[in-house]
Structure 1
Amino acid sequence: MNSKPQLIVIDPGHGGIDPGAVNSWVKEKDLNLTASLYLKQSLEKAGTIVTLTRNGDYDLKDLYPGPGSRQFKDIENRKKYIENLNPDFFISIHVNSGNFLKNYFGQVFYGRNLINAEAANIIQASLNKIYNVAKSPQIADFLILSTGTPGVLIEIGFIDDKRLQNSDFLKKLCQEIASSIIKCLNKKKQISQIKGESRLLIVIDDFGNNSDSLVDFLKLKQPFTAAVMPFLNNTHQEAKALYQSGNDIIIHMPMEPKSYKRSWLGPKPIRVNLTPEEITSLLAAALKENPWAIGINNHTGSKACEDEKIVKTVLSFCQKNNLVFIDSQTTPNSLFPLLGSEFGVVVLKRDIFLEVNGRKEKNIIEQLQKLQSIAQKKNLGIAIGHVGYEGGKPTATALKKVLPKLPGQGFKICTLSDLIKKHP
């Protein structure tokens, strides 16, 4: 390590009135703090300077003034606190709320920066050693990971894994994590010099509507993720055709917006007055008719995406069915990037709409150029286009012209499967 002690910030998730995941024997907020203190002790023994975002049972919603819900202010203030300290590395500690048929493991999530990805690989290896599994770290657009500081979010295990109440096991787990963090710091210079491709993820919404432009996208010889509307006459048929053409498939789930025409939402949208059981039933039916889906994104949903009950129900379904959620960002106050980490679900956020300036081919090409700039800055840019009246043939034509040239310019057109590693 360098002669100058390096600064690490540990963020114990939740706190105060927010317990996080709850089990009969423990609340996540308490387990997060205990693990963070063990981790702090191990890192300080290795010669680093360590500070915690909280060292008691409270949240950070009042640390800095600002608008938003309690949850948003809490996470945003943790992010600001970390950025103000400008540490060499930060770790946000959490515990997963569910289980995978007792196949317990720890999971590392990282933001879009390539440095974070390399560090996540090192830390994930330490967790795999403890749990005797072979998992890969996951990219995610959680709010806490949007800080410019190198760092990761770690789900150290599952709330119903009773080994986490054993202090010896928890100390050993934190010692392994600490060792991997020190390894990251020792390799910091090497990691910072790694050059990677700037990746583009293209999502095309509104399949299932029997659009005249379907054939244009089926003939597109570039990878894209097809978002298929559920419960329409052509849902199953189009999803199957798109899958057989080599595309990743997700469910384009209609969710209630703040203002809308009923015809926009299809026959069975998720509305805020539905119970969790009714929402789960809708999602299960949508997945049954589209068994190729590896994720979900929202169709409209500016109201539903701000509703905690709906967001938690959708994320719980994603967790149990091993699905990714792509937030279309129809509201800047969406709770998906805030709550995804509670369920260990990969949440990604749309950066741009391809047809936001109209459906002229020229305007769509300009948006693709903007996407390239985002990808160069963040290592990943995510765009959403449309197969129907909002986009259609002009969008397909623009993609056909632009995408084939990009690999030669240092870009990779990736699929959703390229980005995420599904749990067995």
Structure 2
Amino acid sequence: MINWKKPSLIILIKRMTAVGLITFFFPLLVVFLVYTSVPDLRGTNSLKGRKIVIDPGHGGIDGGANSSDFLEKEVNLEVAKKLYQELTRSGAQVILTRKGDVSLDQLNNISSSRHKRDLYARVSLIEKHKPDIFLSLHINANYRQPSTTGSIVFYNKGILNSEKLATVLQENLNILMEKHNLKKHRAEPADYYILRNTNYTGVIVEMGFMSNPREKEMLKTSRYQWQLTKSIVRGIEEYFSTSGNYRPNRTTENFSEGLPGIKVYFPGSKGEDLECEQLQTKKVLLSKNVTKELVFEVVARLIRGPQRRDLWVPFDPETKIRHIVLIDGVVEVDFSPEFTRVPGGSFAELLAIKSLVKTVTQFEGIYGVKILIEGREAELLGHLDLSKVLTPEVPKAVIALVIDDLAGGETGRKEIMTIRRPLTLAVMPGLESSTEIAREAYRRGYEVFLHLPMEPEVGRPEWLGPGAITTATPLEKIREIVLTDLQDVPHAAGINNHMGSKITKREEMMREIFKVASEMNLIFLDSKTTPDSVAARIAKELKVPFVERDVFLDEVNSLEHVKKQIRHLAEIATKTGQAIGIGHVGITGINTSRGIIEMIPWLEDQGIELVFVSDLCC
């Protein structure tokens, strides 16, 4: 109620171009009508009939950026659902690439890692639906600088209107960032897989930094998720209200002569290997200093990016080559500062350097590359050490670490589940916490296996636990037991044997187990508790994906022994390309978890990558 004895100010703010300000001074009424530049976007109904794909990043076994109390995949999905609700209400046709907590890697059968299959599936869905625009939702992390905050929108400069879409989205998000005292950013070009491999206008929206404690707590709340949603919707409305009916298009550059035999290597789109293009050039190469000229040409082509749209641009296209010097078989290349702005994160940085080194060292007599930035020795590119002469790498080795006995042993479990690297956790069935632990492991982004109890040659019966297969089990009952055990361990991607030295030697019993694995599309990991196991032969016969253990990490309960075994595992992986190690929770759990945590930096320094067991079966 207005107090007519005192002046009052009433501001009526509506989504219209006119905002009325009414000031009452008894007995005089004064009305001011102020016009603003805020467009009435809803009045234009710019979203009606538009087809929009919303891609909530990660999902299922892939938790994305996460911590003990935060999972990126969950926030991505919640905002995606809110966007679906708001956009459909405005008349848009909205497609979600996932509606639940699932990974998309099973939607295709390309021969690559699970992560690559997942990305390929998202690109395929976008291409299938032919949207007007698409948005891929993610959460960022920058643990090197936890003070970093704010939403960032990424786009591909090669796609028509993507920069415009990114810019208007970024501007609307920046209004929200300013309100919450978070950092405002510019929309940035980037060469993420999903942007480089789609033909449609789209962006990646990194909604915030979970590595910042305050912003992480905000991202977890429904209120802030709705605020992000509203900001994104306003940006989409603005984009369509000012856009014509453009169709997606890639810009290409026409080159003239080719140089036979000269190759430029770019990161490929369907795996970790590099793929080459023949060098195309407009310049006439002089006969003198031809090697130096050739090096300049191939590096310049690398910076410009590939002609094929299924390959990645490894470096910021704004990068300049200041000069090139050849010294005793080493090419010294001096770049402008833009060289360090490799888009796409640590994986893209690794591939970018590999592409540079392989491209330059193709010339006879050149064995390495030395990088300078504005005349000074470069030190780091992300996590990569550039201080030394870079030479072609040997193929990367990978290790899968499996932790057995979850639900059967508690000691060390919490420590294991703080490790933010790919681990395969084998859960025992039929115990009070079996289902809960399997679900929690899956929710946190780990791979889950059923740790199937099988009778050993030597050992106490109570060590087996419930849901076991013994020599007394009738063959016709084995299927029922395995299926029941799988119900106790949801999200299982495979099976490995708990003990089992007696059963894995019995062909008829293993065949029944493998029949279930085949029907359920499960991997079998032989823990190799006996050298007489028939598992490999039966797996081949029934076409079941199969791997076997190389090293037990903790048969001796000692921290130093665990670390020694991890070093041994690394030796095997370096020689063969891959290796599998098995550790345990329970009696040895503390030393096993500590050993793994302490050895991860060493493994990564050796160029050895931790992967899931399923990544070894692609």
TM range (shorter): 0.5 to 0.7
Q: Does 1:206 align with 2:375?
A: no
Distance 1:194 1:334, change over 3 A: farther
- Aligned residue in 2 for 1:254: 453
How far apart are 1:210 and its partner, in Å?
Answer: 5.1
Distance 1:323 1:287, change over 3 A: same
Structure 2 residue runs of 5 or longer lacking an equivalent are 1-108, 112-269, 272-361, 363-391
Instruction: Output the CA distance in 2 between the equivalents of 1:404 and 1:380.
Output: 18
Instruction: Output the CA distance in 1 between the equivalents of 2:410 and 2:530.
Output: 27
How far apart are 1:260 and its partner, in Å?
Answer: 2.0
2:428 corresponds to which of 229, 248, 251: 229
Highest CA radius of gyration, 1 or 2? Answer: 2
Secondary structure of the 1:298 match is strand
How far apart are 1:276 and its partner, in Å?
Answer: 2.8
- Aligned residue in 2 for 1:412: 609
Same amino acid, percent of matched pairs: 32
Letter aligned with residue 266 of structure 1: G
* 2:546/2:617 contact within 8 Å kept: no
More helix by share: 1
2:567 corresponds to which of 369, 377, 386: 369
Deviations 1:374-420 (A, max 9, x none): 0011111110000111x201110111111133223211111123223
- Aligned residue in 1 for 2:66: none
- Aligned residue in 2 for 1:276: 475
How far apart are 1:257 and its partner, in Å?
Answer: 1.0
- Aligned residue in 1 for 2:584: 386
- Aligned residue in 2 for 1:183: none
- Aligned residue in 2 for 1:351: 550
Equivalent residue pairs, number: 235
Distance 1:340 1:417, change over 3 A: closer
Query: TM (normalized to structure 1)?
Result: 0.53
How far apart are 1:346 and its partner, in Å?
Answer: 1.3
Deviations 1:169-223 (A, max 9, x none): xxxxxxxxxxxxxxxxxxxxx9xx9942111110000001251321111112222
- Aligned residue in 1 for 2:486: 287
* 1:327/1:349 contact within 8 Å kept: yes
1:400 corresponds to which of 579, 597, 611: 597
More strand by share: 2
Instruction: Output the CA distance in 2 between the equivalents of 1:387 and 1:259.
Output: 21
Query: TM (normalized to structure 2)?
Result: 0.36
Deviations 1:97-145 (A, max 9, x none): xxxxxxxxx999xxxxxxxxxxxxxxxxxxxxxxxxxxx99xxxxxxxx
How far apart are 1:339 and its partner, in Å?
Answer: 1.6
Instruction: Output the CA distance in 1 between the equivalents of 2:110 and 2:505.
Output: 26
Q: Does 1:305 align with 2:509?
A: no
* 2:467/2:485 contact within 8 Å kept: no
Letter aligned with residue 501 of structure 2: S
* 1:222/1:404 contact within 8 Å kept: no
* 1:210/1:234 contact within 8 Å kept: no
Instruction: Output the CA distance in 2 between the equivalents of 1:215 and 1:233.
Output: 17
Deviations 1:142-173 (A, max 9, x none): xxxxxxxxxxxxxxxxxxxxxxxxxxxxxxxx
Letter aligned with residue 566 of structure 2: L
- Aligned residue in 2 for 1:161: none
Instruction: Output the CA distance in 2 between the equivalents of 1:402 and 1:362.
Output: 11
How far apart are 1:359 and its partner, in Å?
Answer: 1.4
Structure 2 matches for 1:7-406, cutoff 5 A? 195-209=394-408, 211-356=410-555, 358-389=556-587, 391-406=588-603
How far apart are 1:227 and its partner, in Å?
Answer: 0.4
The 4+ residue runs of structure 1 with deviation greater than 3 A are none
Instruction: Output the CA distance in 1 between the equivalents of 2:544 and 2:400.
Output: 18
Structure 1 residue runs of 5 or longer lacking an equivalent are 1-105, 109-135, 138-189
How far apart are 1:272 and its partner, in Å?
Answer: 1.9
Distance 1:246 1:404, change over 3 A: farther
Deviations 1:271-324 (A, max 9, x none): 123223211001101111222100000011111000011111111111000000
Greater RCO, 1 or 2 (C-alpha within 8 Å, sep 6+): 1
Deviations 1:247-290 (A, max 9, x none): 10000000011122111110221012322321100110111122
